[in-house]
Amino acid sequence: MQLFERVDRYRPWALAALRIVAALLFIEHGTQKLFDFPASGHAGGSLGGLFLVAALLESIGGLLVLVGLFTRPVAFLLAGEMAIAYFMAHFPKSFFPIQNGGEAAVLFCFVFLYLVFAGAGALALDNRRSS
């Protein structure tokens, strides 16, 4: 048996690890906007407009992805949010993500896009809903 055939049985668990870690990191972006936690040094002022929408998507959407509930549609929305965030906030500064600070937005966008197609993996509430 080839090495990759042996590790293939762990694919749902690896997918779950990717989903959970990405969601935990993503939630931090939302809570930082909403509650300045973890502290960003940009405290103060009320959230309005697109910034508030982004904060809610990141917090609530991140929580849904974390527990694996409605993973595919939520991941689709979050991938779109990250694409919009990249082109509105980062791309105007420079073409290259490493120069415009948009690496995280690009990476989150494609991780969430992958979850749209791959699903939630193991340890997801979606697995209980479909049974």
Task: Say if 19 falls within a structural domain.
Answer: no
Q: Tokens representing 12?
A: 């749902």
Q: From CA 120, how far away is CA 67, in angstroms rounded?
A: 9
| Helix 103-118 / helix 71-85 crossing angle, nearest 10 deg | 160
**Which of 25, 27, 31, 113 is closest to 64 using CA atoms?**
27
The model's pTM is 0.91
> What is the 8-class DSSP label of residue 123?
S
Task: Say if 96 falls within a structural domain.
Answer: yes
Task: Say if 12 falls within a structural domain.
Answer: no
Task: Say if 91 falls within a structural domain.
Answer: yes
pLDDT tens sequence across 13-60: 999 999 999 999 999 999 999 998 888 876 555 678 888 999 999 999
Q: For the chain, how many structural domains are there in total?
A: 1
Q: Which domain holds residue 124?
A: 27-129
Task: Say if 88 falls within a structural domain.
Answer: yes
Residue that is written with structure tokens 């939302």 in the block: 30
Percentage of the chain modeled with pLDDT above 70: 93
Task: Say if 100 falls within a structural domain.
Answer: yes
